[in-house]
């Protein structure tokens, strides 16, 4: 399967992925949706900043899913995996606030990240606010 992860540009995470400083992509949800139960080892994740073309891809090494999270459970996940997710220790308090109220977490462990020739996608049918897309083949939405 192929996935598209849409990132917040101001967090500057794409460069961290390419440089190997961010080896985990995390997704936090209030309910099971988007990445939950759909990402498997061997899949490919394509990354793009919001409003920009896809520029990075990586292979999924493994996936860990957490459910029925409490605030203390979220803090444990962030402390254990946050550094691999591109979150600096100075940023933990911000992320504690950001994940508050989320009940589900998907950790996608990345390997072999690389830049790709930039290309745009058509998100029609996925919903305008979706930040994670799953499809059999990226060419189905490539423009």
Q: What is the model's pLDDT at position 30?
A: 92
CATH code (residue 94): 2.30.130.30
Give the Cα separation of 73 and 71 in Å (integer): 5
pLDDT in tens, 44-90: 999 999 999 999 999 999 999 999 999 889 889 988 998 888 777 77
pTM of the model: 0.93
Give residue 20's domain range: 2-140
**What is the average pLDDT across 117-125?**
95
For 45, residues 6+ apart whose C-beta sits below 8 A from its C-beta are 2, 3, 4, 5, 25, 39, 57, 58, 59, 60, 108, 110
Number of domains in the chain: 1
User: What was the pLDDT predicted at 83?
Assistant: 80
Mean pLDDT computed over every residue of the chain: 93
């Amino acid at each position: 399967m192929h996935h598209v992860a849409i990132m917040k540009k101001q967090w500057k995470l794409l460069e961290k992925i390419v440089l190997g400083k961010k080896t985990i992509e995390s997704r936090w949800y209030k309910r099971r949706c988007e990445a939950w139960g759909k990402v498997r080892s061997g899949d490919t994740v394509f990354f793009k900043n919001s409003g920009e073309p896809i520029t990075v891809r990586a292979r999924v090494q493994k996936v860990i899913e957490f459910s029925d999270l409490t605030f203390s459970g979220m803090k444990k996940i962030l402390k254990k995996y946050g550094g691999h997710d591109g979150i600096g220790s100075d940023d933990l308090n911000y992320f504690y606030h950001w994940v508050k109220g989320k009940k589900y977490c998907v950790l996608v462990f990345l390997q072999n990240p690389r830049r790709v020739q930039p290309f745009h996608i058509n998100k029609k049918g996925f919903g305008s606010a979706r930040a994670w897309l799953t499809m059999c083949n990226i060419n189905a939405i490539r423009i």
